[in-house]
Amino acid sequence: MSTESELLHKVPNGLLIAGEWGASSSGETFVVDDPSTGKAIKHIADATPDDGRRALDAATGAQDAWSATAPRVRGEILRGAFELLQERKDDLALLMTLEMGKPLADSYAEVAYGGEFLRWFSEEAVRITGRYGRNPAGTGSMVVSQRPVGPCFLITPWNFPLAMATRKIGPALAAGCTAIVKPASATPLTTMYLAALLQEAGLPAGVLSVLPTSRSGALSAAIFTDPRLRKVSFTGSTEVGRTLLRQAADGILRTSMELGGNAPFVVFEDADLDRAVEGAVLAKFRNTGQACTAANRFLVQRSVATAFAERMAERVRVMKVGRGTEKDVSIGPLIDQKAVDKADALVRDAVGRGAALLAGGRTIDGPGTFYEPTVLSAVPADAEILREEIFGPVVTVVEFETEDDAVRLANGTEYGLVSYVYTTDLARGQRMIDRLDTGMMGLNAGIVSDAAAPFGGVKHSGLGREGGTEGIHEYLSTKYTLIPS
């Protein structure tokens, strides 16, 4: 296993364009730091709008040859990258912990999850099919085929630096599209390491470019307005997603949007409480609460609400907070000071409005940007924390009386990414599947993500699906041909 400095030395520090790692056109660099220490860990090239155009030159130049490459060959390259990723899993896990702060156990879980998108889409590359049939008038044949949409721009967030990249790169390349990926400025190193693995697995020059930048707005605007771009896939906040959708309108770009969440975690009085607490710990504290799928509101039926909140508080009091590389740490730093301030302000607002603080509730002095794992119960309906995506290790318990109340509260948000429901009543579980406005649901499960499943939301949580058999269709367009007989 590499030491931290050996590993950081191995990561490229340039932009990847046309198969070469090089400096940005301005020669400028920016700093990536470790949120658990606040210290700089690497300086990397800072892409400019000109670099964006160069990457599009490369993507456009490589597009025809890549889409003509045999699907089996495309699949084998992805499969090769999957194998390399398994071999280098220690490097990738440590790298994510260094640049993003997540505890090593969470990083290893992400290596497993993120790698699966390469394997899954290596298998999907050879299953792109169409259909053929006689037209209703009986005068000819109708052929329906699937074509790659063309050069894609992939924008990823910092919270899952590997998985959010493979979830887009995997299907784009499998479908025969070339791509430019712009990782989050806080966590570009994992994507750069991944791109080097894909090169090692045989990816031809120009098929994938990587453009880290400290000025995402300017870089993206240049790429969006270039008519050679055909598709944008974005994962990040609803606010930025909305801006990008407006920009995409001018070029009539295909868009996939994986946006924010405000997941309800509903516990009925007939639930297996042990199982619900286990699921709640996973749904809330994985990634230190910094997941779009993180449970944001725990809606618990009145008769079991006190017991549930107390059991969560017991679990939270023994959680070890610290640098993700340290043994037994399960809560790492938040990504930056702004995130800590936001969590703290939301907790203070809730307590000020009458919520009971059962555990935590304070920032932890630096270095690093840490917030105590926290449990709030009896959170009143007007508390800000129930409307905002917390993105931190804070549990909010809200009581409800009836199933109708639970549905009304769960659906009472502009988001609709994922919902969790705990009940042992099968009929009730089935009713909840029908009644919750959500793209995904865990029924007695605290984690739902799977490369083989369609991930995505409804309402302001986004458009499109990633993963599953659906995922590759985001990168394909349907072509119909009539052949008169």
Binding mask 220-259 for ligand NAP (x = CB under 6 A): x--------------xxx--x--x--------------xx
278 a catalytic residue: no
* 481 near ligand NAP (CB under 6 A): no
We find the least distance from the C-beta atom of residue 342 to ligand NAP, in angstroms, to be 11
* 157 near ligand NAP (CB under 6 A): yes
Residue 38 to residue 34: CA distance in whole angstroms = 5
Near ligand NAP by CB under 6 A: residue from 44, 111, 184, 358: 184
* 91 near ligand NAP (CB under 6 A): no
We find the least distance from the C-beta atom of residue 242 to ligand NAP, in angstroms, to be 10
Q: Which residues pair with 255 in a beta bridge?
A: 232
Residue 58 to residue 258: CA distance in whole angstroms = 26
Residue 102 to residue 318: CA distance in whole angstroms = 18
Specify whether the CB–CB gap between 396 and 351 falls below 8 A: no
Give the nearer residue to ligand NAP in terms of CB position, either 158 or 370: 158
470 a catalytic residue: no
Residues that bind ligand NAP (rule: CB under 6 A) add up to a total of 28
Strand order in the sheet with 462-463: 20-22, 15-17, 208-210, 179-182, 152-155, 231-235, 254-258, 462-463
* 29 near ligand NAP (CB under 6 A): no
Q: Which residues pair with 210 in a beta bridge?
A: 16, 181
Looking at beta carbons, which residue is closest to ligand NAP?
A: 236
We find the least distance from the C-beta atom of residue 392 to ligand NAP, in angstroms, to be 12
We find the least distance from the C-beta atom of residue 482 to ligand NAP, in angstroms, to be 38
In the window 375-394, what residues touch ligand NAP (CB under 6 A)? Answer: 389
Q: Which of 99, 116, 124, 258 is catalytic?
A: 258
Give the nearer residue to ligand NAP in terms of CB position, either 199 or 293: 293
Q: How far is CA 245 from its chain centroid?
A: 18
We find the least distance from the C-beta atom of residue 413 to ligand NAP, in angstroms, to be 13
Token pair 């318990």 is found at 397
* 178 near ligand NAP (CB under 6 A): no
We find the least distance from the C-beta atom of residue 369 to ligand NAP, in angstroms, to be 14
Instruction: Quickly count helices (H) and strands (E) in the chain.
Output: 14, 22
Specify whether the CB–CB gap between 368 and 36 falls below 8 A: yes
Backbone phi, psi, residue 255, to 5°: -135, 145
CA distances from 355 to 180, 188, 361, 380 (A): 46, 38, 12, 6
* 49 near ligand NAP (CB under 6 A): no
* 156 near ligand NAP (CB under 6 A): yes
Catalytic residues, by residue number, are 258, 292
